Amino acid sequence: MKKYYTIGLVLVLVCAVALIAYGMYLNRAGESKIAERMENRAIPLQGERAAFRNINPTFVLDTINFYSDEMADAVALIDGRVTEIFVDKNSRVAKGQLLFRLQNDDIPLKIQEAESNIFRAEAQLANARASFARYQRLMEKDATSKEKYDEAQMQFLAAEAALKQAVTVRDQYLVQSGRQDIYAPIEGEVLILYKQMGAYVSPGTPVALIGNFNRLYFSMPLDDEIAQHLFMNENFELHFRDANALRKAYDTEFAAGNKGSEQVFNARVQEITPSLSEPAAMRKVVWEVDNSVGLLEPQTYNGVTMRLVNSHRALTVPLAAVTGQNRGAVFVVTPENTLERRAVNVGSDDGTYIEIISGLKEGETVVTSATTGLESGVKVEVTLTNFGR
């Protein structure tokens, strides 16, 4: 009996060892197959080929600062009290139009005093002229001395000079009297009235701000690669992404026919510094904006998109393909269907495609989906979008 028990125990142990060995075999075979499958696994992605396309470069600006070169204060040239105001806020005025009238109580008295001095000087001149004429006749007859003749001549010349001086003083006061009227220095709209009726002003005091906002300007620094695509008087379109952005700082009037937040503004390149013919890494570009609709003012606005009206042809890839800091890299699909992370130099974009200045060739395929976490050498299975173009 003991013999059979031992044989049975041995058979059980043999079977257990066989089962364990078979399990280890199956586990190793499975791991090998899994590793083989993992090694041959290809990540499904979408891609598109680099190709030459016509794009309208678009700049998305967080802020834009408009300024005007036609804003000026109407300034008092003498002291006085405001007695008349001929315009209202938001009035349209022409250059040289009368805005304010001051009253300086001293000027009429000084003019009257100067007129009296002129009358007195004229009388003295008349006497000196008559005396000098008499001595001229006596001199011709040798009936007087040279000294008395010279003295009469000097008195005559002094009287002439005194009259000229009196007239000059009177004219100066007349000029000051004319300065009691304050005129518009430029054509435009009355933005601010600094002074009201009865206010006293001293020389150099601004009384009104005049501005002409039909043309506004803004500037932007651009890399040379982007600036080289621009030329003088090239047209762009501006529109505001924020419907509430068109607020007023000076409360100027709106022009008829404006479209409010849906208005598209025309901007043209007015200046490029340094000029494109000179070597430079960065350039300052100034745009002139047509604001004849009266929606904009010189201030900072948020959320502006600027689009080039005329397209230009460039090697491009979808905007979704670029990655890394400053959009400096793409993932290129190699002939072996593996990924290669490639550094590229990019230019402007139109919101869908971006210009490739260097780093890619026409026809190379780039990944346009799920670029986060990808690495060079990974096997991929890329489906071309846009019909493979």
Parent domain of 148: 71-183
**Do 113 and 173 fall within a single domain?**
yes
> Mean pLDDT in runs of 10 for the chain (389 residues)?
61 64 60 45 88 91 93 96 96 96 94 94 94 90 88 93 94 93 97 96 96 96 87 93 83 90 94 94 96 94 91 91 87 93 90 92 92 86 73
Predicted local confidence at residue 13, as pLDDT: 65
Asked, for residue 249, whether it belongs to a domain, the answer is yes
pLDDT at 34: 38
Give the 3-state secondary structure of residue 216.
strand
User: Do 191 and 72 contact (CB within 8 A), yes or no?
Assistant: no
- What pairing do the DSSP bridges indicate for beta strands 51-55 and 312-318? antiparallel
Residue 106's pLDDT is 93
The H or E element spanning position 172 is helix 146-178
* 297 and 332 in a common domain: no
How would DSSP label each residue in 66-117?
-B-S-EEEEE-SS-EEEEEE---TT-EE-TT-EEEEEE-THHHHHHHHHHHH
**Shared domain check, 162 and 246:** no
Residue 144, pLDDT score: 85
By three-state DSSP, how is residue 321 classified?
A: helix
Give the pLDDT score at 10: 61
Do 279 and 323 lie in a common domain?
Answer: no
Shared-domain flag, residues 329 and 351: yes
Within a domain: residue 329?
A: yes
Q: Is residue 148 part of a domain?
A: yes
Distance CA 339, CA 376 (A): 5
Asked, for residue 10, whether it belongs to a domain, the answer is yes
CATH number at residue 138: 1.10.287.470
Asked if 238 and 327 sit in the same domain, the reply is: no
On whether both 78 and 166 belong to a single domain, the answer is yes
Task: Tell whether 331 is covered by a domain.
Answer: yes
pLDDT at 356: 93
Q: Are residues 274 and 254 in the same domain?
A: yes
Q: Give residue 329's pLDDT.
A: 93
Q: Is residue 192 situated within a structural domain? A: no
Let me know whether 85 and 26 are in one domain. no
In the chain, how many domains are there? 4
